């Protein structure tokens, strides 16, 4: 038999892969393989400036949220508080659509959880980079993560720039525009008529179409996306609430786990 035995193979795979995360013993360990990760003002600045045009677009969506919140009976201050403490567009819009008198507290909290669980997965996707920052910096940056700046940050990290503060910078831009536009939308809410006549109700779908275009990675994406699409459309018709989002996501992930075998 010419085949190497199991033990050797194990040693091989263990030794061949240099784990960049484990290289922290040597301080000058970052010269060749993996880029050094920094966390400084220039990273924040780069993230902020890169995100500005997108944050401006998100502002249109914030105006829509402010108007919807006002129509649901929230005050300008309450709508602004929600935007400032959540920074989670889809969950906020759905929450104010559920908002009635008396407030369906449980439904709103569960919907918020169901819609935002995707952030856990998005945060995990940033793990290889954020995991090398201190807990305060990494978790602090994650608090200002939303869909759009997550996509920008993923792109930045994958380019190998090593700017660990990029997420925080993009998040600050998102936060400023999101909160400001919420206030504008909520204050104007009474004066502006039906959002549909301005196409504002379409901004959410437009953002996600743009996001999907960016996330498209070629043919390998097709199967999981079709699975997600079919599952979500069927689940949306059969299952109450927003569970279809997670069901679609998990169905695609499950298919990918199975496909990974072959």
Partner 1 sequence: MMGEGALALDPLVVGVVLAMALVTALTKVGGLWLLRRLEVSERLEAALSVLPGAIVIAILGPELATGGPAEWGAAGVVLLVMWRTESIPLSLCSGVGTVVLFRAIL
Binder among 63, 68, 88, 165 for partner 1 (CB under 8 A): 88
Binder among 37, 44, 67, 82 for partner 1 (CB under 8 A): 82
Nearest distance, CB of residue 148 and partner 1, angstroms: 7
Binder among 37, 68, 179, 232 for partner 1 (CB under 8 A): 232
DSSP for 113-136, written as a single string? HHHHHHHHHHHHHTHHHHTTS-HH
Binder among 113, 134, 159, 238 for partner 1 (CB under 8 A): 113
Cα separation, 255 vs 233, in Å, equals 17
121-129 long-range contacts (CB < 8 A, ≥24 apart) are 121/249, 122/147, 122/150, 125/154, 126/150, 126/153, 126/154, 126/157, 126/167, 128/157, 129/37, 129/157, 129/164
Cα separation, 147 vs 90, in Å, equals 9
Binder among 9, 36, 103, 238 for partner 1 (CB under 8 A): 103
According to DSSP, the residues that pair with 38 across neighbouring strands are: 163
Binder among 37, 67, 173, 227 for partner 1 (CB under 8 A): 227
Does 24 contact partner 1 by CB under 8 A? Answer: no
Torsion of CA 135, 140, 146, 148, to 10 degrees: -80
Cα separation, 167 vs 161, in Å, equals 12
Nearest CB to partner 1, comparing residues 176 and 253: 253
Does 109 contact partner 1 by CB under 8 A? Answer: yes
Nearest distance, CB of residue 1 and partner 1, angstroms: 27
According to DSSP, the residues that pair with 163 across neighbouring strands are: 38
Nearest CB to partner 1, comparing residues 6 and 262: 262
Nearest CB to partner 1, comparing residues 91 and 179: 91
Cα separation, 175 vs 188, in Å, equals 20
Give how many residues touch partner 1 by CB under 8 A: 97
Q: Which residues in the 119-158 window bind partner 1 by CB under 8 A? A: 119-127, 130-131, 138-139, 142-143, 145, 147-148, 150-151, 154
Q: Which residues in the 180-219 window bind partner 1 by CB under 8 A? A: 186-187, 190, 196-200, 202-217
134 is written with which tokens? 């201190």
Nearest CB to partner 1, comparing residues 44 and 142: 142
Nearest CB to partner 1, comparing residues 33 and 131: 131
Does 225 contact partner 1 by CB under 8 A? Answer: yes
């Amino acid at each position: 038999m010419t085949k190497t035995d199991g033990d050797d193979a194990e040693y091989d795979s263990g030794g061949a892969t240099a784990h960049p995360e484990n290289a922290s013993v040597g301080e000058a360990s970052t010269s060749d393989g993996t880029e050094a990760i920094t966390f400084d003002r220039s990273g924040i600045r780069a993230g902020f400036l890169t995100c500005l045009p997108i944050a401006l677009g998100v502002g249109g969506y914030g105006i829509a949220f402010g108007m919807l919140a006002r129509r649901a009976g929230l005050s300008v201050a309450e709508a602004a508080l929600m935007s400032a403490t959540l920074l989670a567009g889809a969950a906020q819009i759905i929450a104010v659509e559920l908002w009635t008198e008396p407030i369906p507290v449980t439904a709103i909290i569960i919907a918020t959880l169901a819609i935002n669980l995707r952030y856990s997965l998005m945060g995990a996707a940033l793990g290889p980079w954020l995991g090398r920052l201190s807990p305060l910096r990494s978790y602090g940056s994650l608090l200002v993560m939303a869909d759009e700046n997550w996509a920008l940050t993923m792109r930045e990290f994958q380019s190998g720039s090593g700017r660990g503060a990029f997420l925080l910078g993009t998040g600050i831009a998102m936060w400023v525009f999101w909160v400001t536009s919420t206030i504008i939308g909520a204050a104007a809410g009474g004066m502006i008529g039906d959002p549909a006549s301005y196409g504002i109700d379409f901004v959410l779908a437009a953002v996600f179409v743009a996001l999907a275009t960016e996330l498209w990675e070629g043919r390998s994406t097709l199967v999981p996306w079709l699975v997600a699409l079919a599952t979500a459309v069927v689940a949306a018709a059969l299952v109450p609430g927003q569970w279809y989002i997670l069901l679609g996501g998990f169905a695609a992930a499950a298919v990918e786990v199975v496909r990974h075998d072959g």
